[in-house]
Amino acid sequence: MAEGSGGSVWREGDVTAAVVPRAPDRSIFNSVFYEDGERLLASLERIAGVYADAGINAWTVWVPPGDTATAAGLERAGHALDGEPRLMGMALSGLQAPTPDPELRISEREDRVAMARMNEIAYGYPEGDFDAVGEAPMPGMRIYFATLDGEEVCTLAVWGHERDAVVIWVATLPEARGRGIAGRLLGHALADARDQGLETTTLQSSKLGAPVYTRLGYRDFGAAQIWERRAG
């Protein structure tokens, strides 16, 4: 997504940073991943320079469950804990399909812009903050929409990475929440992924969203932490 929206990927050893100038204030797009915490901490100022040179005001480091030493080092370096998403996954053979809703219409189409705009509305971001999502083609990604009473109210994407169905950009408009729409839409998308030959599925969930995924059969593998550095 970084490269597809005009950005780049920075690498140093096992440290990888997505650099997305199209989203200078959204740290979730400008994410850093690592395998060795000490190497990550030693690279922080170089990474900060890369983001500053790209005009990016906020970026974040994903810390896997249990890596308290790296989390403490990030805090000392001026990062702030910005969230603790749950890491969830399952074998697609264990999918527990939800009961269909006869009033809900599900469709699939490659409309990244519509998906991006619905995410902005659902999460209260200014229009344009998800432009990188709308602009970047991701080969193998399938986009789904749910329509209720003639209005599209929910969206998500499933990206096939090797044998895994990675679930991203799940969003339900505020007026349609509480009806199980996201679960039904995801159940449909995962059944497609299983029919496609994919074997597993993974996602990152908010605390509130985790019960939706648990009902589909996902298992909780613990909480990651995202440590943000923001200019100023």
What tens digit of pLDDT does each residue of 20-49 get?
999 999 999 999 999 999 999 999 999 999
Using one digit for the tens of pLDDT, what is the confidence trace for 152-192? 999 999 999 999 999 999 999 999 999 999 999 999 999 99
Average pLDDT of the residues of the chain: 96
Distance, CA of 203 to CA of 163 (rounded, Å): 14
**Mean local confidence (pLDDT), 65-94:** 98
Q: What confidence tier does 207 reach under pLDDT thresholds 50, 70, 90?
A: confident
Q: Pick the closest to residue 223 from 16, 93, 68 (CA basis).
A: 68
Please tell me what DSSP assigns to residue 92. G
Domains of the chain by start residue, with CATH: 8-85+224-230 (3.40.630.30), 89-221 (3.40.630.30)
Altogether, the residues listed in the chain come to a count of 232
**According to the model, what pLDDT value does residue 213 have?**
97
Kindly tell me if the per-residue pLDDT of 230 is higher than 90. yes
Kindly tell me if the per-residue pLDDT of 7 is higher than 80. yes
**According to the model, what pLDDT value does residue 53 have?**
97
**Mean local confidence (pLDDT), 65-90:** 98
Kindly tell me if the per-residue pLDDT of 232 is higher than 80. no
Residues 6+ apart with CB under 8 A from 116: 130, 131, 133, 134, 169
**According to the model, what pLDDT value does residue 68 have?**
98
> Model pTM?
0.93
**According to the model, what pLDDT value does residue 220 have?**
97
Q: What's the one-letter identity of residue 183?
A: G
Distance, CA of 63 to CA of 200 (rounded, Å): 23
Distance, CA of 232 to CA of 227 (rounded, Å): 15
